[in-house]
Each structure stands twice: as structure tokens, then as C-alpha cells.
Structure 1
Amino acid sequence: MFVTAGEVESALNGGVRTMLAIVHDLKVTFDRNGSWRVTGGRLWRDEDWKPEPIRLQPIQYRYTPNLG
């Protein structure tokens, strides 16, 4: 699952309670009328989410070159 740096920062230092919610196990089909249909699904949530550093993994960096 991906979360932004801003979401992590807000959860840790934003001074507000943060909930993390994940909807999973959805079944997505395309019906004969050309419409998408979504059924099922389960909700997992952490009502007072505080990201644990050991569970965070850096996967992207922003690099600003000196084009001087």
C-alpha cells in the first residue's frame, strides 16, 4: 500500500487524529451493457493511525539537479 509523505507527516505531527482505511477484496466486472460493476469488498481500518517507522519503506526520492 502506498501513502504519501504528507499523509505520514500529518499522522505523526499534524496534531489531529488520523484514520487509515483500506477497502480490499473487491470483485470488478464489466457487464454486457458496457458498465463496470463492483461487488463485495471488505473494510480494514486503523482508527488512530500512527505509522510505525519499521513499517515505512522509502520507495521514491525527488532529485533537484543544479542546472546553474
Structure 2
Amino acid sequence: MIKVLIVDDHEMVRLGLATYIGVQPDLEVVDQAENGQEGVDMALKDRPDIILMDLVMPVKDGITATKEILKAWP
């Protein structure tokens, strides 16, 4: 099973992606975050195989969040 983390500040986008991923037999949404900081925290906790990260979000943008995740978990 491939674990997926969804990070987006728009709830409808998160729900749409989670619904689509949920019907795929080899994919599982392990968590959803609404900003970059939550995304970093959840990525380090859940260790997903794939992170779907929005770029423009409040608190911390997706580029900064991705850099932090890669620094902590290369």
C-alpha cells in the first residue's frame, strides 16, 4: 500500500483528492493538512510515500515546507 499525505489549504481540494485516492486499490490517504506547518509535522510523523503539496498556503508555503521535510528526512 502506498501512503499519501495531502497538504492544501482548500478543504474541497483535499476532499476531492482524498476521494479519488480512496478508490485506488494500492493507495491510502494517511493524513491531510491545511497548511505547510501541519504538512511538515504530519510528514515527519506519518512517513508517507507520496506528499501532494500545494505551493501557496497560509502559515508556511509548500516550497518552504518541502525543504524542511527534505532536510529532516532526505
- TM-score normalised by length of structure 1: 0.25
Higher helix share: 2
> Higher relative contact order at CA 8 Å, sep ≥6: structure 1 or structure 2?
2
Higher strand share: 1
